[in-house]
Structure 1
Amino acid sequence: MTQALRASPLRPASPAPHVVIIGGGASGVLMAAHLLSRPGARLRVTLVEGRNMLGCGIAYSTDDPQHLLNTRVQNMSAFPDDPDHFRRWLESHRTAAGDAVDGDGAATAASFVSRPTYGAYLASLLAPWLSGAGAGASRLSCIRQTCLRIGGGGALLTVHLDNGRRLLADQVVLATGHVLPEPDPAGILSGAWQPLGDLDPDGRVIIIGTGLSMVDQVLSLMNRNHRGEILALSRRGLIPRRHAAAIPLPIAAEDVPLGARASVLFRWARGLARQAARDGGGWRDAVDGIRPHVRRLWASLPLAERARFLRHAAPWWDIHRHRMPPQSADRIADALASGQLRLIRGRFAGADRGPDGGLVARIAQPGGAAREIRACRIIDCRGILRDPRQHASPLVADLIASGRARIDPMGIGLDVSPDCAVIDAAGIPSTRLHAIGPASRAAFWEITAIPDIREQTTALARRIEALTPVTPRPGYGADTDWAMATCRASVPSGPECRS
């Protein structure tokens, strides 16, 4: 399912409060759905998204059906008060659901479905407001443009788009998602989100990084019957652990060591894992029990301990927290057992193109030894970029330059308050500018998974509604409007989330 964006005529000003969401990926769509679905809500919402699709973002724009969610169906509903919403959607979209629906048409709550399928589900959330009919149809607009800056003050903000238009808004939500590295200008490194294209089926492939993006790449290679060696490189050689049945260990709020040193937290977590094992469970029970307390833990840590956690403990936490679906884990285990996939500890030190056109990677190994490895493809799976100072979009760069926002002291995102308000250069939280999802990573750390984002957007929807009383609208000129494009639903036969 695709939600295709296309322009429509200008609309007159509306007396309803106006919320502009910058970004139409998972975070933006969840934010819009929660704002629009609140009982009695009169808010109007405009989604600004540069791509010709809604709901997909980076994670759900893949078209490989073997790229699976790493969270079960039962935990992927968009609505915290309706945990079966996604499962019911699967049952009504059996072609998209695949193996998640049995022969009787019932969806399996414990299954792991493909990410393209979930992208289609996210896009469908806005269908009640995209149909062009009904009482709610006029409350949602979508604009296929890029936001360059946010100006204004007092009662309204002004959203400046790259086509020269401006939107007036009572509230603005930054849902800009993850930032990927720019394509390698020399063409030596391939991006993890680029198609594999033509590839020698017997050639060696080097993958930089051993996280879930590496898993996706290995599965894609195996799906096309790649026979060559696959080398996966990271400093520690750690890969995500396997999902299995788990019962979250009950952890009382008063037993959580808030503000402790990172080393103390590490020992605490290991102690919980041993406790779970003594009780007949395992480390997964402990990790899943800790998860509801992660935000409080992160917020309680001094900056020095946050930095220490990121350097030393985060890689270990990530491989236990962000696990592989069993189907994916089985195939990775088979590839390791056969020797086709090998894990290498070391640091990627660069690569060049050889005289014959092949690639040569330089690997710095533990102990200082260096080696060169030839390959037909080098795929960069080191993940997303975090420091806005190194990859700021025009919007984020302008927010920082204007003083409307600042970088958090850790350099991993914008500085955001616990209730998602963007903090300005003077340290004052905004009452009109908010950040959610990965854009709010610095304040919450664990804010990339759907269960976390749905809780965050639900709470922010309540807050925005409380902050935004209905007020008379000022006049506006030909270049300023409350919304100047609408989003129409285009539903092809398959579940792919594409333009």
Structure 2
Amino acid sequence: MTIVAIIGAGFSGLLTAVQLTKESSGKQLHICLIDQNSYPGRGLAYGTWDDNLLLNVPAGNMSAFPDDSQHFVRYCQEIDPAYHEGTFVSRRIYGDYLEDLLLKAKNEFTFNFEVICANVDAVAKLGKALFSLHMSSEKTLTVNKVILALGHFESSNPLRQNELEMGSKVFLERKDILALCQDEGQNPIVVVGSGLTAVDLVFQLSSSGVRRKMVLVSRRGLIPQSHRVNPKIPAKNLLDILSEVPSTVRAFLRAIRTEIARREVSEGNWRDVINELRPFIPEIWRRLSIYERRRFLTKILPYWDTHRHRLAPIAYKRFISLIECGQVEVLAARVESIEPLSSGWRVQIKRRRQEIVDVIEAIGLFNATGPNSDVNQIKHPLIQQLVRDKLICADELHVGILTTSKYQTIDDQGREVENLFYIGPMLKASYWESIAVPELRVHAARLAKEILIDL
């Protein structure tokens, strides 16, 4: 019996487990799905019960299975026949969908599928095909293969000042929202960041009854764009255009802009071009040199993110209405310094391309700059242990974890770590496009097949 431990039961971990049960064909396999969350599958993205928080991708592209594009749509239509491919459903429903997938997989695999609610503090390699997992419950588990499906990690500190030097905790957390609702003061809330993470936070604050002004501060002041009201299924006609493009960021951008302009002549839409580009992003990323990748990260990434990672149309309208009524203000600026006040912080911000420093007396700050992908900077016991023991390694640009084409991790000497695998958003080190369901479901299916090859 081969024991496979999957550490992390968010989308990537749960779906890899489901794919293993689906493809195992009677092989001697025991699956241990381990997560601290008592609601496996929901993770950070789908762990909400607020139906006002919608998916950022239409239902037609949210199937858990790459070979069955209508799987999630059929699930939704069992709830309400009015749902269709273009519907942006709630994240709560998608969490229910994943829980349903897990339940069916457990019932099919019966005693050979364990869900363990615990933190894994360390993974020790005992041999070529043997690992020891040390958990916070003081339990130790010995397994043959380990899949790291750890998901996103909290944002790094975006301030120039070190939090430890300030003598107290700076950033508020989502658990602090209730206290903000009960406080009747007028000082605004400062949110560092203006992307999808910041928009989610704004919605949670406003839905919870917070009436304070929210000031979103980001270096360029960009906000996510909206999806089309009736999104189209992506065509597959960009390959010929991209195959002849020189491997530079400038050349790819020029080709994309040219194609967008060509489409718009015939009443096309730039969103269609971005959607059609997604399947080719890994190949483009592989073609770029480290120098060109770095240029993309420093010059283009903020603009790319606002167009690539879009909001559901109704969510976009809701966000814009909060701006128009004055409850939300988006500033192109950076936080220069903060000083503690008796109730809150004195925040100094410097606006983009201006020398004037503005002062905001804020009740508190939220860090919404997005997840940290640099494993050398992530303050998580398991990640720190894996790095220290050279079982995982950051890529040269520190955007993810180095892996082989078979998803095995790579140590700092460039050697694969046998039987230790990674799946999740930090695959962007190799593929870049690896943080959303349409890509991760493909990786989960491929990883499951790699695991089963040797059994």
Using the alignment, how far apart are the partners of 1:196 and 1:350 within structure 2?
27
How far the C-alpha of 1:432 sits from its partner, in A, is: 0.9
How far the C-alpha of 1:153 sits from its partner, in A, is: 1.4
Matched ranges for 1:229-268 at <5 A = 229-244=213-228, 245-247=230-232, 248=234, 250-252=237-239, 255-256=242-243, 260-268=247-255
Which amino acid in structure 2 is aligned with residue 153 of structure 1?
A: G
Using the alignment, how far apart are the partners of 1:439 and 1:461 within structure 2?
18
* Cα contact 1:257–1:265 (8 A) shared by 2: no
* Cα contact 2:187–2:361 (8 A) shared by 1: no
Using the alignment, how far apart are the partners of 2:388 and 2:306 within structure 1?
37
How far the C-alpha of 1:231 sits from its partner, in A, is: 1.7
Once the two structures are superposed, residues 231-281 of structure 1 have per-residue CA deviations (whole angstroms, 9 ceiling, x without a partner) of: 211111100001103443521257336762222222222222112212321
TM-score w.r.t. length of structure 2: 0.90
Residue 40 (structure 2) pairs with residue 67 (structure 1): no
Which amino acid in structure 2 is aligned with residue 316 of structure 1?
A: Y
Which amino acid in structure 2 is aligned with residue 19 of structure 1?
A: V
Structure 2 portions without partners, runs of 5+: 158-162
How far the C-alpha of 1:374 sits from its partner, in A, is: 1.6
Secondary structure in structure 2 of the residue aligned to 1:21:
strand
Using the alignment, how far apart are the partners of 2:76 and 2:200 within structure 1?
23
Query: Among the aligned pairs, what percent are the same residue?
Result: 29
- Structure 1's 168 and 405: CA in aligned 2 closer, same or farther, altered over 3 A? same
How far the C-alpha of 1:332 sits from its partner, in A, is: 1.6
Using the alignment, how far apart are the partners of 2:245 and 2:168 within structure 1?
47
Alignment match of 1:55 (pick from 34, 38, 41): 41
Using the alignment, how far apart are the partners of 1:414 and 1:53 within structure 2?
26
How far the C-alpha of 1:459 sits from its partner, in A, is: 0.8
Once the two structures are superposed, residues 372-407 of structure 1 have per-residue CA deviations (whole angstroms, 9 ceiling, x without a partner) of: 112233222111111111115322222222232222
Larger displacement relative to structure 2 (51-60 or 196-205): 196-205
Alignment match of 1:293 (pick from 259, 270, 280): 280
Alignment match of 1:421 (pick from 391, 408, 413): 408
Which amino acid in structure 1 is aligned with residue 260 of structure 2?
A: A
Structure 1 counterpart of 2:100:
124
Secondary structure in structure 2 of the residue aligned to 1:197:
helix
Using the alignment, how far apart are the partners of 1:71 and 1:342 within structure 2?
26
Larger displacement relative to structure 2 (390-399 or 279-288): 390-399
Secondary structure in structure 2 of the residue aligned to 1:400:
helix
Using the alignment, how far apart are the partners of 1:372 and 1:261 within structure 2?
41
Using the alignment, how far apart are the partners of 2:204 and 2:149 within structure 1?
29
Residue 10 (structure 2) pairs with residue 28 (structure 1): no
Secondary structure in structure 1 of the residue aligned to 2:215:
strand
Alignment match of 2:326 (pick from 323, 326, 339): 339
How far the C-alpha of 1:339 sits from its partner, in A, is: 3.0
Which amino acid in structure 1 is aligned with residue 97 of structure 2?
A: Y
Secondary structure in structure 2 of the residue aligned to 1:126:
helix
Matched ranges for 1:207-218 at <5 A = 207-218=191-202
- Structure 1's 414 and 39: CA in aligned 2 closer, same or farther, altered over 3 A? closer
Which amino acid in structure 1 is aligned with residue 77 of structure 2?
A: E
How far the C-alpha of 1:226 sits from its partner, in A, is: 4.3
Using the alignment, how far apart are the partners of 2:26 and 2:252 within structure 1?
42
- Structure 1's 48 and 182: CA in aligned 2 closer, same or farther, altered over 3 A? farther
Structure 2 counterpart of 1:189:
171
Larger displacement relative to structure 2 (386-395 or 252-261): 252-261
* Cα contact 1:151–1:160 (8 A) shared by 2: no
How far the C-alpha of 1:230 sits from its partner, in A, is: 2.4
Matched ranges for 1:144-159 at <5 A = 144-147=117-120, 148-159=122-133
Matched ranges for 1:483-498 at <5 A = none
Matched ranges for 1:76-87 at <5 A = 76-87=62-73
Larger displacement relative to structure 2 (446-455 or 110-119): 110-119
How far the C-alpha of 1:164 sits from its partner, in A, is: 3.7
How far the C-alpha of 1:329 sits from its partner, in A, is: 0.9
Using the alignment, how far apart are the partners of 1:253 and 1:19 within structure 2?
41
Secondary structure in structure 2 of the residue aligned to 1:390:
coil
Using the alignment, how far apart are the partners of 2:405 and 2:391 within structure 1?
17
- Structure 1's 143 and 175: CA in aligned 2 closer, same or farther, altered over 3 A? same
* Cα contact 1:188–1:352 (8 A) shared by 2: no
Using the alignment, how far apart are the partners of 2:52 and 2:336 within structure 1?
31
Secondary structure in structure 2 of the residue aligned to 1:220:
helix
For these two proteins, the number of residue pairs brought into alignment is 439
How far the C-alpha of 1:428 sits from its partner, in A, is: 1.9
Alignment match of 1:448 (pick from 435, 448, 451): 435
* Cα contact 1:259–1:301 (8 A) shared by 2: no
Secondary structure in structure 1 of the residue aligned to 2:88:
coil
Structure 1 portions without partners, runs of 5+: 1-14, 95-100, 470-499
Once the two structures are superposed, residues 406-454 of structure 1 have per-residue CA deviations (whole angstroms, 9 ceiling, x without a partner) of: 2211112221123312112321223411111123231122211011110
* Cα contact 2:152–2:372 (8 A) shared by 1: yes
How far the C-alpha of 1:312 sits from its partner, in A, is: 1.0
Matched ranges for 1:379-394 at <5 A = 379-394=366-381
Larger displacement relative to structure 2 (62-71 or 24-33): 62-71
How far the C-alpha of 1:227 sits from its partner, in A, is: 4.0
Using the alignment, how far apart are the partners of 1:209 and 1:181 within structure 2?
11
Structure 2 counterpart of 1:6:
none
Once the two structures are superposed, residues 2-30 of structure 1 have per-residue CA deviations (whole angstroms, 9 ceiling, x without a partner) of: xxxxxxxxxxxxx3x22111111111101
Larger displacement relative to structure 2 (190-199 or 81-90): 190-199
* Cα contact 2:424–2:440 (8 A) shared by 1: yes
How far the C-alpha of 1:46 sits from its partner, in A, is: 0.6
TM-score w.r.t. length of structure 1: 0.82
Once the two structures are superposed, residues 56-89 of structure 1 have per-residue CA deviations (whole angstroms, 9 ceiling, x without a partner) of: 1111123322111100111111111222221222
Using the alignment, how far apart are the partners of 2:177 and 2:49 within structure 1?
10
* Cα contact 1:259–1:302 (8 A) shared by 2: no
